[in-house]
A and B are shown apart, each in its own frame.
Chain A
Amino acid sequence: MFDWLVEMLSYAFIVRALVVGLIVSLCAALLGVSLVLKRYSMIGDGLSHVGFGALAIAMALGIAPLAFTVPVVVLAALVLLRLSEHSKIKGDAAIGMIATAALAIGVTVLSVVRGINADISSYLFGSILVMSREDLTLSLWLGSAVLVLFVLFYRRIFTVTFDEAFARATGLRAGLYNTLIAVLTAVTIVLGMRLMGAMLISSLVIFPALTAMRVHRSFLRVTLCAALVSLISFLIGMSLSYLLSTPAGASVVLVNVAMFLLFSLANALKNRIR
């Protein structure tokens, strides 16, 4: 019955994609809870578009993709965070501007520069073939960094996420924690972008948090549940993609959608029984 599983795991590139994807899913879910609650989830979307533009330029110039994309997206994260913190209404529009501009640059660069033999759609919607050993190493580092920082600063992340005014008043450097979360999100998005696709990666930030919030009412439970839902959705999505030959990124997103609907249903039933 599980022959397909053994078969799937016999491909080195699939195993690499699984490991990187699981790490990215976990990090995105943990960071996503804070981002969604602070109304910053648009930042994730904006960053993935900037990532796409940067990736295209890196390919065109023949530089190592991660070495170029990571700093550019981290920089973009800092800019987008400032935009969201100040002038709420315009910040939203500004993120849209930056995102679409980066997307347009990416598409133009990829189509103008000849000799790039990768098609645009694999960048936009992901490909499981692209994960290298370098990606694997970097994701292991990133994953550990996010986990350690998240656990270490968990109480302060809660305090800052719940009430920034109170956090600042009691001497917590709220700006520092916002920046930390934005930077970690940037790195997570760059790592997951080529696997999940620039258009789809931000769903890993948004869906698990919202799904967990359908059922749970405490921050700790929402965080744990989001992490678990994200990991499980990724595994199911990848397996379905392998069995049905569907695109990996899209399959993972669809499983996340299904999870969200399932949890919404569970919540509705729970309320009715009460």
Chain B
Amino acid sequence: MNCIRVKGAAQHNLKHINVDIPRNRLVVITGVSGSGKSTLMKGLLRLVTPVKGSIRLESGLARDKIGYLPQQTLTQRDFPASVLEVVHSGIRGRQLFLSKKDKQRARTMMDLMEIGHLSGRSFMELSGGQRQRVLLARALCATGKLLLLDEPTAGLDPVVARELYKTIERINREQGIAVVMITHDVHTAAFFASHILHLQQTPLFYGKPDEYLATYHGQCFAGGVCNV
């Protein structure tokens, strides 16, 4: 069963893309700046419409069923909000007050992200890694099937980043939620990914991490020496 099928999504700087992402996959998207990584993700979210071609999501996977972690913004660092308020904002719906079931769901997602003990804290007092976990819990509240993460470890130190990857990998494995993640940190991410997609307007590589690391681009991006 396919979670996403991207076919020839030509959005200005993207072309000839033909990628299937099944549910159990953890796909890492990498590539130089301006290679279309974010555009592809925005296309999946329907924030931009393909000029040509199509992006198909599995039937039943409506836009509001995708969990999204945007790139961090500076504004959020001094935004007065409690951890619970942030996590609860991932739950869609018109209701003013959340039902017991919704609150329980939020609680479960926070436990999955190992931030249950932070529920009473204020978002702005947290460390960078804790903040990303809160935002991931919010994204999980919005989805049961697909997580899209835009540079989740940007600005985190290597140890914290590694822990975050581990948690993301565990959620992918245990909850059966497909993960598509943009990162420049391929060297570490390759350990946790099931597949790697290297974009340069068009896919240069889409396959397993160990095969990727053997390619020229893989060597380049994962810290080897190369001449670009």
Q: Are B80 and A222 in contact (CB under 8 A)?
A: yes
| B: contact size bracket | 20 to 34
A sample of 25 cross-chain residue pairs with beta-carbon separation below 8 angstroms, ordered by A number, consists of A37-B80, A39-B75, A154-B96, A155-B88, A155-B93, A158-B81, A163-B70, A163-B76, A163-B89, A166-B69, A169-B66, A169-B68, A169-B70, A170-B63, A171-B64, A213-B80, A216-B80, A217-B81, A217-B122, A218-B81, A219-B80, A219-B82, A219-B85, A220-B82, A222-B80
* Bound CA–CA A253/B122 (angstroms): 30
A149 within 8 A of B: no
Residue of A151, A152, A219 touching B81 (CB-CB under 8 A): A219
The residue of chain A having its C-beta at the shortest distance from the C-beta of B125 within the complex is A217
Q: Are B89 and A162 in contact (CB under 8 A)?
A: yes
Chain A nearest CB from B105 CB (Å) reads 15
Evaluate whether A166 and B70 lie within 8 angstroms (CB atoms) in the complex, with A159-B89, A171-B64, A217-B125 already known: yes
A262 within 8 A of B: no
Residue of B70, B79, B88, B125 touching A37 (CB-CB under 8 A): B79
A82 within 8 A of B: no
B138 within 8 A of A: yes
Binary CB contact string for chain A from 33 to 45 against chain B (1 if under 8 A, 0 otherwise) = 0000111000000
> Which A residues are in CB contact (< 8 Å) with B88?
155
The residue of chain A having its C-beta at the shortest distance from the C-beta of B88 within the complex is A155
Binary CB contact string for chain B from 49 to 92 against chain A (1 if under 8 A, 0 otherwise) = 00000000000001110101111010110011110011011101
B142 within 8 A of A: yes
A130-165 contacts to B (CB < 8 Å) = 151-152, 154-155, 158-159, 162-163, 165
* Bound CA–CA A222/B93 (angstroms): 23
> Which B residues are in CB contact (< 8 Å) with A151?
96
A90 within 8 A of B: no
Chain B residues near A (Cβ < 8 Å): 45, 47, 62-64, 66, 68-71, 73, 75-76, 79-82, 85-86, 88-90, 92-93, 95-96, 122, 124-125, 135, 138-139, 142, 148
Given contacts A158-B85, A163-B70, A218-B81, 13 further A-B contacts (CB under 8 A): A37-B75, A37-B80, A155-B89, A159-B89, A162-B89, A163-B73, A166-B70, A166-B90, A170-B92, A171-B64, A218-B122, A219-B81, A219-B85
Chain B nearest CB from A274 CB (Å) reads 12
Interface centre among B45, B64, B66, B80 (most CB of A within 10 A): B80
Evaluate whether A152 and B80 lie within 8 angstroms (CB atoms) in the complex, with A163-B70, A218-B122 already known: no
> Which B residues are in CB contact (< 8 Å) with A168?
45, 47
Binary CB contact string for chain A from 203 to 218 against chain B (1 if under 8 A, 0 otherwise) = 0000000000100111
Residue of B47, B75, B85, B86 touching A169 (CB-CB under 8 A): B47
* Bound CA–CA A37/B123 (angstroms): 14
> Which A residues are in CB contact (< 8 Å) with B86?
162
Evaluate whether A158 and B47 lie within 8 angstroms (CB atoms) in the complex, with A166-B138, A170-B66, A219-B81 already known: no
> Which A residues are in CB contact (< 8 Å) with B95?
155
* Bound CA–CA A119/B220 (angstroms): 73
* Bound CA–CA A139/B69 (angstroms): 41
Chain B nearest CB from A167 CB (Å) reads 8
The residue of chain A having its C-beta at the shortest distance from the C-beta of B41 within the complex is A169
> Which B residues are in CB contact (< 8 Å) with A154?
96
Q: Are A217 and B64 in contact (CB under 8 A)?
A: no
Evaluate whether A170 and B64 lie within 8 angstroms (CB atoms) in the complex, with A162-B89, A217-B80, A217-B125 already known: yes
Chain B nearest CB from A97 CB (Å) reads 25
A10-40 contacts to B (CB < 8 Å) = 37-39
> Which B residues are in CB contact (< 8 Å) with A222?
80
